[in-house]
Chains A and B, each alone.
Chain A
């Protein structure tokens, strides 16, 4: 059907569409801004509380801006406990666990996606079923196992299970590798490459978004992990940061200012990791079809 409208009519329609579009964008930004504000609010409260005097922390109505600003809370929270050692411990546990998880999950994910072996489907099903077993259910057997190994009060119980039993990571990599055409592997095989070489030189370099996505998610998880360090660690010099943060609480009271200052300090590595890898993170989540 031919367009019978004149140029002025078309111009007017376009203007109306533009106005509607602009209005829609304003509304959209308004909603997003409110959502972003709600997300930022707890973070803002944490920073604000970390700079308050202890008596001002739970004032009702809340005092949003600290007055006076108590910068010394940061120094005090750092020196009241061996936070430096805990920082090193957390960095060690979270980094090794994350790198190990990425390696083991990508290897297993590659196998599930591109290698054909007997029982692959069932094995994957069993692996995914382990996602439904809560950590509390496996805690006691794990504890007995690590006692037998002589690993209690060491960082091994935090690292080894993380590296060897990450079904979520395996599934994420499997999904990602399935999006890569088999032709690449076939071409490499024709050139004489074995499975490990195909994995290491072709598939892993293509999986940077998935590596970033899993890296960020796992680093955050291992950085914040509380229950396992609580159960397995006894010596204060092996404590990770979440245990140190919990030390600002006791059976009856909580030192909120120091707790929030220490929490803000503890947040720095996670934010750095996210900022450095956020582009890949979004891409990885989109490509693997996984959302939180």
Chain B
């Protein structure tokens, strides 16, 4: 029946269109009315509400109260504004998803703590505001802060972040396994003749025992160039030159270090890698008592403090031709497009002061505080449950810090390195070939930078 169908079509189209328009109008009217009444109630009942701002970062449930406390303290100092802390669950990648969406939509949080790994790509894409004009205007001095704290966040005379704390790497070691192997514990001083690559390798060999699924390894770390690069630095090498203009992994200093690691993995079979153990989580193997020495950052301290099955300690990284450990500094940043840069800066500036830094120490969070005065006064309170000597391992680590050369296109570069790294990991190529393959992919990317 064509007539009926036409009528049906007409009514159906207009019926749905009318419903949608009515819904849209209703929704908009509700919103407007809500805002009107909120304003009206505010005018009648109370003085204008404080302006609201938000600060965010990834945080687990155990860290959230600390950040809430910092924000509450800050709110007491600036009664005309009201800040709140928004916890982002999950990983740095999750924070990045949210951050990028907010930047693109033009409504970012007013302050955010981001990881150092995010810095290069954010700077490159213009996601971070320059803080240097505020820093200089308010008379802050870099000398008041630990050496190197701000280095990573200063690029071409601009300052992109206020360091949240300083992280370095060192060796966590299993004291029970050292005792069982009849080995003395490593020293607690950095840059000493008593703890060189030779002593380190000998200890790793002595700690290695057994075979198959129950094998015990002398050494382990997160199997990633960003961790293993510590040994390249200790041999005065790096993977790119100081100007980030060319790869240097094939130079003798870097090659010798990579071959040293290769020998521990392949000849000694003393280094726990994912290929050897079938597990990416070498830190779990250490916590399970199957790795004698484990190289990682201060950020592992809370997880290590929960170990109950054996006694453990912290030792410096061994010395090669020099003593070096990576410097990792996450930072509080001001996203581009914040609604009031001045208020955002006030919060960031507050994070450089003693009050929040002391709170961080009280809670054992975010590594070494950046303010020299707090780091010195509170040194005894840091890194519990370590002994005072072992606390000094972490406190002195910053003297041997080496900046990780995050290039502007670090994300792209890192992805390009992985194929050669994986082939080396499974024994398909040797260190020389890996370095050559990496150089071949690094140089064109650096040229584009």
Binding site for B on A (CB under 8 A): 54-61, 80-81, 111, 115-118, 139-140, 143-144, 147, 149-150, 152, 189, 195, 227, 230-231, 234-236, 239, 243-244, 246-253
Contacts and interface: CB of A to CB of B under 8 A. Distances in A.
Interface stretch (B7-15, B246-254, B403-411): B7-15
Interface of chain B, helix or strand or loop or mixed?
helix
Contacts of B94: 230, 246
Nearest to B299: A252
Interface in B196-224: 213
Interface in B264-315: 277-279, 281, 283-285, 287-290, 297, 299-300, 302-303, 306-309
A236 B64 contact: yes
B294 to A, nearest CB: 13
Nearest to A147: B107
B105 A140 contact: yes
Given A56-B288, A234-B54, A235-B86, A251 B91 contact: yes
Contacts of A227: 97
Shortest 8 CB-CB contacts between residues of A and residues of B:
A117-B9, A58-B284, A246-B90, A234-B86, A246-B89, A247-B89, A143-B105, A116-B5
Given A55-B307, A115-B8, A252-B297, 6 more contacts: A55-B309, A115-B12, A143-B102, A150-B34, A252-B300, A253-B303
B232 interface: no
Interface string B66-104: 000000000000000000001111111010011001101
Contact size class for B?
35 or more
A244 B89 contact: yes
A252 B298 CA distance: 10
Contacts of B289: 55
A235 B11 CA distance: 44
Contacts of A116: 5, 8-9
A230 B300 contact: no
B61 A80 contact: yes
21 contacts: A55-B287, A60-B277, A81-B61, A115-B12, A116-B9, A117-B13, A140-B101, A143-B102, A143-B104, A143-B105, A147-B107, A150-B31, A150-B34, A231-B98, A235-B86, A236-B64, A246-B90, A246-B94, A247-B61, A250-B59, A252-B299
Interface string B1-39: 000110011111100100000000001000100110000
Contact of B56 (A139, A234, A244): A234
Given A116-B8, A236-B87, A250-B60, A144 B105 contact: yes
Contact of B279 (A60, A244, A247): A60
Contacts of B284: 57-58
A120 to B, nearest CB: 8
A115 B9 contact: yes
Contact of B92 (A54, A57, A251): A251
A247 B59 CA distance: 7
Contact of B91 (A152, A234, A249): A249
Contacts of A246: 89-91, 94
B144 interface: no
Contact of B31 (A54, A80, A149, A235): A149
Contacts of A230: 88-90, 94, 97-98
B327 interface: no
Contacts of A231: 97-98, 101
Contacts of B86: 234-235
B442 interface: no
Contacts of A149: 27, 31
Given A55-B287, A116-B8, A117-B8, A250 B281 contact: no
B302 A139 contact: no
A246 B300 CA distance: 19
Contacts of A244: 89
A80 B5 CA distance: 60
Interface in B133-159: none
A225 to B, nearest CB: 14
A106 to B, nearest CB: 14
Contacts of B102: 143
Interface string B94-123: 100110011011110000000100000000
A144 B106 contact: yes
A118 to B, nearest CB: 6
A231 to B, nearest CB: 5
B63 interface: yes
B9 A118 contact: yes
B213 A60 contact: yes
Nearest to B92: A251
B58 interface: yes
Interface string B40-59: 00000000000000101011
Given A116-B5, A147-B107, A61 B12 contact: no
B8 A54 contact: no
Given A61-B213, A80-B61, A139 B101 contact: yes
A260 to B, nearest CB: 14
- Which residue of B11, B12, B299 has the most chain A CB atoms within 10 A of its CB atom? B12
Contacts of B4: 189
